[in-house]
Amino acid sequence: MIAAALLLLLQTAAAPGETRSFGDWMAGCDNALVCEAQSLPWTADGGGELIAYQLVVTRAAAPDATPHIHLLNQEEEGPYRLPVLVDGREVAVATRGESEDSYVFTEDAGAALLAAIVTGETAQVQSREGLPPVTLSLAGSSAALRWIDERQRRAGTVTA
Protein backbone atom coordinates (compact mmCIF):
# COMPACT_ATOMS: atom_id res chain seq x y z
CA MET A 1 0.00 0.00 0.00
CA ILE A 2 2.78 2.44 0.93
CA ALA A 3 4.68 1.55 -2.25
CA ALA A 4 1.60 2.27 -4.36
CA ALA A 5 1.09 5.64 -2.65
CA LEU A 6 4.75 6.53 -3.17
CA LEU A 7 4.54 5.57 -6.84
CA LEU A 8 1.44 7.75 -7.26
CA LEU A 9 3.21 10.66 -5.55
CA LEU A 10 6.26 10.31 -7.80
CA GLN A 11 4.07 10.25 -10.91
CA THR A 12 2.33 13.49 -9.95
CA ALA A 13 5.46 15.43 -8.94
CA ALA A 14 6.39 18.33 -11.17
CA ALA A 15 9.09 17.54 -13.71
CA PRO A 16 10.84 19.66 -16.30
CA GLY A 17 9.01 20.04 -19.57
CA GLU A 18 9.57 21.68 -22.92
CA THR A 19 11.43 24.99 -23.11
CA ARG A 20 11.49 27.37 -26.04
CA SER A 21 13.51 30.40 -27.04
CA PHE A 22 11.81 33.55 -28.36
CA GLY A 23 14.21 36.32 -29.34
CA ASP A 24 15.84 37.45 -26.10
CA TRP A 25 13.40 35.47 -23.91
CA MET A 26 13.01 31.83 -22.90
CA ALA A 27 9.84 30.08 -21.72
CA GLY A 28 9.08 26.71 -20.25
CA CYS A 29 6.42 24.74 -18.41
CA ASP A 30 6.70 21.74 -16.13
CA ASN A 31 4.39 18.73 -16.36
CA ALA A 32 1.99 20.43 -13.91
CA LEU A 33 1.79 23.38 -16.36
CA VAL A 34 3.46 25.84 -14.02
CA CYS A 35 5.10 28.08 -16.59
CA GLU A 36 7.84 30.66 -16.54
CA ALA A 37 9.17 33.20 -19.05
CA GLN A 38 12.56 34.81 -18.50
CA SER A 39 14.49 37.54 -20.20
CA LEU A 40 18.03 36.61 -21.00
CA PRO A 41 20.30 38.18 -18.39
CA TRP A 42 21.87 41.46 -19.43
CA THR A 43 24.73 43.20 -17.75
CA ALA A 44 26.12 46.68 -17.36
CA ASP A 45 29.57 47.69 -16.27
CA GLY A 46 29.19 49.10 -12.79
CA GLY A 47 32.58 50.75 -12.48
CA GLY A 48 34.63 47.60 -12.88
CA GLU A 49 31.92 45.18 -11.82
CA LEU A 50 29.26 43.47 -13.87
CA ILE A 51 25.68 43.95 -12.74
CA ALA A 52 23.21 41.47 -14.23
CA TYR A 53 19.42 41.59 -14.16
CA GLN A 54 16.75 39.25 -15.46
CA LEU A 55 12.95 39.64 -15.60
CA VAL A 56 10.99 36.50 -14.67
CA VAL A 57 7.24 35.95 -15.15
CA THR A 58 5.71 32.86 -13.49
CA ARG A 59 2.12 31.62 -13.63
CA ALA A 60 0.59 28.49 -12.12
CA ALA A 61 -1.83 26.37 -14.11
CA ALA A 62 -4.98 27.06 -12.07
CA PRO A 63 -7.69 28.92 -14.01
CA ASP A 64 -7.62 31.81 -11.53
CA ALA A 65 -3.81 31.98 -11.32
CA THR A 66 -2.34 35.42 -11.88
CA PRO A 67 1.14 36.00 -13.28
CA HIS A 68 3.84 36.89 -10.77
CA ILE A 69 6.76 38.96 -11.97
CA HIS A 70 10.07 39.47 -10.25
CA LEU A 71 13.52 40.72 -11.06
CA LEU A 72 16.64 38.68 -10.40
CA ASN A 73 19.98 40.37 -9.90
CA GLN A 74 23.51 39.24 -9.32
CA GLU A 75 24.49 42.02 -6.94
CA GLU A 76 25.12 40.95 -3.39
CA GLU A 77 24.30 44.42 -2.15
CA GLY A 78 21.96 46.74 -3.89
CA PRO A 79 19.32 49.32 -3.23
CA TYR A 80 16.06 48.47 -1.56
CA ARG A 81 14.05 49.92 -4.47
CA LEU A 82 14.67 49.49 -8.20
CA PRO A 83 12.78 51.66 -10.69
CA VAL A 84 11.95 49.81 -13.91
CA LEU A 85 11.37 51.79 -17.10
CA VAL A 86 9.89 50.44 -20.32
CA ASP A 87 10.73 52.39 -23.45
CA GLY A 88 11.92 55.28 -21.29
CA ARG A 89 8.83 55.53 -19.07
CA GLU A 90 8.86 54.44 -15.42
CA VAL A 91 6.29 51.68 -15.13
CA ALA A 92 6.99 50.01 -11.79
CA VAL A 93 9.27 49.95 -8.79
CA ALA A 94 10.59 46.67 -7.44
CA THR A 95 11.55 46.19 -3.82
CA ARG A 96 14.03 43.70 -2.43
CA GLY A 97 12.39 40.34 -1.82
CA GLU A 98 13.12 37.71 0.78
CA SER A 99 16.23 36.45 -0.99
CA GLU A 100 19.27 38.61 -1.71
CA ASP A 101 19.04 38.15 -5.46
CA SER A 102 15.34 38.84 -6.01
CA TYR A 103 13.23 41.96 -6.27
CA VAL A 104 9.43 41.76 -6.23
CA PHE A 105 6.57 43.94 -7.44
CA THR A 106 3.20 44.64 -5.86
CA GLU A 107 0.30 43.03 -7.71
CA ASP A 108 -0.66 46.35 -9.35
CA ALA A 109 2.93 47.22 -10.28
CA GLY A 110 3.48 43.72 -11.67
CA ALA A 111 0.33 43.96 -13.79
CA ALA A 112 1.39 47.37 -15.14
CA LEU A 113 4.87 46.07 -15.92
CA LEU A 114 3.53 42.94 -17.60
CA ALA A 115 1.24 45.03 -19.82
CA ALA A 116 4.17 47.26 -20.78
CA ILE A 117 6.53 44.32 -21.42
CA VAL A 118 4.36 42.74 -24.12
CA THR A 119 4.27 45.93 -26.20
CA GLY A 120 7.66 47.40 -25.29
CA GLU A 121 11.07 47.12 -26.89
CA THR A 122 13.42 47.63 -23.93
CA ALA A 123 13.28 47.75 -20.16
CA GLN A 124 15.82 49.60 -18.06
CA VAL A 125 16.72 48.99 -14.43
CA GLN A 126 18.55 51.67 -12.47
CA SER A 127 20.54 49.69 -9.95
CA ARG A 128 22.59 52.20 -8.00
CA GLU A 129 22.99 55.94 -8.17
CA GLY A 130 25.87 56.92 -10.40
CA LEU A 131 25.91 53.66 -12.36
CA PRO A 132 24.52 53.27 -15.86
CA PRO A 133 21.12 51.56 -16.05
CA VAL A 134 20.95 47.96 -17.18
CA THR A 135 18.95 47.60 -20.39
CA LEU A 136 16.94 44.41 -20.92
CA SER A 137 15.66 43.46 -24.34
CA LEU A 138 11.94 42.75 -24.52
CA ALA A 139 12.28 41.18 -27.99
CA GLY A 140 10.40 37.89 -27.81
CA SER A 141 8.60 38.61 -24.53
CA SER A 142 5.17 38.77 -26.13
CA ALA A 143 5.75 35.53 -28.06
CA ALA A 144 7.04 33.77 -24.92
CA LEU A 145 3.96 34.81 -22.93
CA ARG A 146 1.61 33.79 -25.77
CA TRP A 147 3.34 30.39 -25.90
CA ILE A 148 2.65 29.99 -22.17
CA ASP A 149 -1.00 30.95 -22.77
CA GLU A 150 -1.23 28.18 -25.38
CA ARG A 151 0.38 25.58 -23.10
CA GLN A 152 -2.02 26.48 -20.28
CA ARG A 153 -4.96 26.56 -22.72
CA ARG A 154 -5.62 30.23 -21.99
CA ALA A 155 -5.22 31.55 -25.54
CA GLY A 156 -8.30 33.55 -26.51
CA THR A 157 -9.67 33.61 -22.95
CA VAL A 158 -9.95 36.44 -20.43
CA THR A 159 -7.14 34.90 -18.36
CA ALA A 160 -4.60 35.02 -21.21
Domains and CATH numbers, the chain: 22-151 (2.60.40.1880)
Q: Please state at what angle helix 141-151 crosses helix 107-119, rounded to 10 degrees.
A: 110
Predicted pLDDT of residue 127: 75
Q: What is the pLDDT of residues 112-152, one digit of tens each?
A: 999 999 999 999 998 777 777 888 999 999 999 999 999 99
DSSP letters of 21-67?
Answer: EETTEEEEE-TT--EEEEEPPEEEE-SSSEEEEEEEEEE-SSTT---
pTM: 0.80
Predicted pLDDT of residue 160: 59
Give the chain's residues under pLDDT 50: 1-12
CA dist 12 and 10 (Å) reads: 5
